[in-house]
């Protein structure tokens, strides 16, 4: 905010300083004098004027606006209103007999509160007897950000199924677009005028799909087509039909060289972003007075903030000592031995990929799995 709202005493001091500089008839001003009353009246009026100016600024400048003022700022800049609610995504650990198939078109996973999730792609369990599958919520809203180890049932159960759980909390679910993301979208909306830039394509796809966070230029494929990776704000993936639909609806914004004579897009290909999946496994001593589930959730919340892919830049790497310090700094954690901490080396995130935590295993100092209050984490989930 450019305009700074000042206190009455600050404005009075300024007024009296100017007043005394212009006359030699007054040398002292007492608290109950007429001049002091005049100074107070002028200062109070000036403060109200400054306040009204600051309010006008909050309608004009997104950086200083919030709430309804930010909505008014968006209207002033011609930016569409806040985006609607969206769902969350996470990974589930699937334990089953070798060869068991989980189909994205059939299996539905449910947590304790009835929030349902579906697989983004089919998963076949290998010889190890377990594997990970990426799921996204069928419902929308912040309530889909379910706790770790709460997705415990699958329907229909495929033959050979033993158990399922989400080691890491679901992320990305929102009731509506918050001020932070809305403010960023307002400031970047004019990029839609920057034709044929990556920022331009981001704004175009955002107009069509509320969940599009950003677009990554992957270069050209062997056919000479431009490949663009789509990143959704909740980390979920679009199906092939959704990618085709997104590309078809956006074709009116592409240059004529990207279209054939029938108006079909031939010069651009859309795909989902590729993830650098990180599996964490560590030993920790938790104070007896703290609930292990709450400690687990707070660790994961802090890790999610550190690896927030909304602000991830190419060239960054995930430093393992940062992950270690995040775990150590959570209230209730007494000791975390770095000897048993995994990953124990920095994770170099490949160019054009984004980091995401997939596996999350907490053990006590003896190496035993720390069970949750609902006893979801059974030894069967982690066969030796």
Q: Are residues 97 and 53 in the same domain?
A: no
Q: Are residues 362 and 281 in the same domain?
A: yes
Residues counted in the chain: 384
Q: Distance (Å, rounded) from C-alpha 116 to C-alpha 112?
A: 10
pTM score of the predicted model: 0.75
Instruction: Enter the tokens of residue 48.
Output: 């109200």
Residue 246 CB contacts under 8 Å (≥ 6 apart), including other chains: 205, 208, 209, 230, 238, 270
Q: Are residues 202 and 246 in the same domain?
A: yes
- For the ranges 78-87, 235-244, 334-343, the lowest mean pLDDT is seen at 78-87
- For the ranges 12-16, 43-47, 75-79, 372-376, the lowest mean pLDDT is seen at 372-376
Q: Which domain holds residue 43?
A: 8-60
Q: Are residues 372 and 294 in the same domain?
A: yes
What integer is the mean pLDDT of 179-205?
75
Q: Answer whether residue 181 is part of any domain.
A: no
Q: Are residues 55 and 104 in the same domain?
A: no
Q: Answer whether residue 65 is part of any domain.
A: no
- For the ranges 37-51, 298-312, 325-339, the lowest mean pLDDT is seen at 37-51
C-alpha distances in angstroms, 172 versus 141, 282, 374? Answer: 9, 25, 24
What integer is the mean pLDDT of 243-269?
73
Average pLDDT, the chain: 84
Q: Are residues 133 and 202 in the same domain?
A: no
Q: Are residues 278 and 376 in the same domain?
A: yes
Please tell me which residue, 85 or 63, carries the higher pLDDT value.
Answer: 85
Q: Answer whether residue 80 is part of any domain.
A: no
* pLDDT exceeds 70 at position 378: no
Q: Are residues 222 and 268 in the same domain?
A: yes
Q: Distance (Å, rounded) from C-alpha 360 to C-alpha 343?
A: 11
Question: What pLDDT shows up at residue 252?
Answer: 77
Question: What pLDDT shows up at residue 180?
Answer: 78
Residue 187 in 3-state DSSP? helix
**Domain total of the chain:** 4
Last residue of one domain, picked from the residues 256, 272, 288: 272
Locate the DSSP E strands across the chain: 89-96, 101-102, 108-111, 116-119, 123-124, 130-137, 151-155, 161-165, 212-220, 226-232, 268-272, 274-283, 285-286, 317-318, 333-335, 347-348, 353-363
Q: Using an 8 Å Cβ cutoff, are 91 and 166 in contact?
A: yes
* pLDDT exceeds 60 at position 383: no
Question: What pLDDT shows up at residue 192?
Answer: 61
């Amino acid at each position: 905010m450019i305009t700074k709202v000042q206190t009455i005493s600050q404005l009075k001091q300024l007024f009296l300083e100017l007043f005394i500089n212009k006359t030699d008839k007054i040398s002292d001003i007492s608290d109950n004098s007429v001049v002091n009353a005049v100074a107070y009246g002028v200062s109070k009026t000036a403060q109200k004027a400054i306040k009204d100016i600051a309010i006008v600024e909050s309608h004009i400048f997104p950086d200083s606006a919030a709430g309804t003022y930010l909505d008014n700022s968006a209207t002033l800049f011609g930016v569409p209103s806040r985006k609607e609610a969206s769902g969350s995504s996470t990974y589930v650990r699937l334990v089953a007999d070798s060869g068991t198939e989980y189909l994205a078109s059939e299996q539905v996973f449910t947590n304790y509160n009835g929030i349902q999730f579906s697989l983004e792609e089919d998963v076949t369990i290998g010889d190890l007897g377990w594997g990970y599958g990426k799921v996204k919520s069928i419902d929308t809203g912040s309530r889909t950000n379910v706790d770790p180890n709460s997705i415990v049932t699958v329907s229909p159960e495929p033959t050979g199924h033993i158990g399922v759980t989400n080691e890491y909390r679901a992320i990305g679910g929102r009731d509506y677009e918050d001020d932070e993301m809305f403010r960023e979208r307002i400031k970047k909306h004019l990029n839609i005028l920057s034709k044929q830039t990556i920022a331009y394509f981001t704004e175009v796809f955002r107009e069509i799909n509320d969940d599009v966070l950003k677009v990554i230029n992957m270069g050209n494929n062997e056919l000479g087509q431009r490949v663009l990776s789509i990143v959704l704000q909740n980390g979920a993936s679009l199906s092939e039909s959704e990618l085709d639909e997104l590309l078809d609806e956006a074709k009116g914004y592409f240059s004529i060289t990207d279209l054939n004579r029938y108006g079909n897009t031939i010069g651009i290909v859309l795909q989902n972003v590729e993830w650098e999946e990180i599996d964490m496994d560590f030993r920790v001593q938790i104070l007896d007075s703290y609930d292990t589930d709450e400690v687990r959730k707070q660790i994961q919340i802090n890790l999610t903030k550190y690896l927030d892919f909304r602000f991830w830049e190419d060239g960054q790497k995930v430093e393992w000592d940062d992950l270690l310090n995040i775990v150590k700094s959570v209230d209730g954690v007494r000791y975390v031995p770095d000897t048993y901490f995994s990953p124990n080396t920095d994770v170099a995130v490949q160019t054009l990929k984004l980091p995401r935590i997939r596996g999350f295993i907490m053990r006590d100092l003896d190496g035993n799995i720390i069970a949750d209050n609902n006893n979801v984490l059974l030894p069967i989930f982690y066969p030796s």
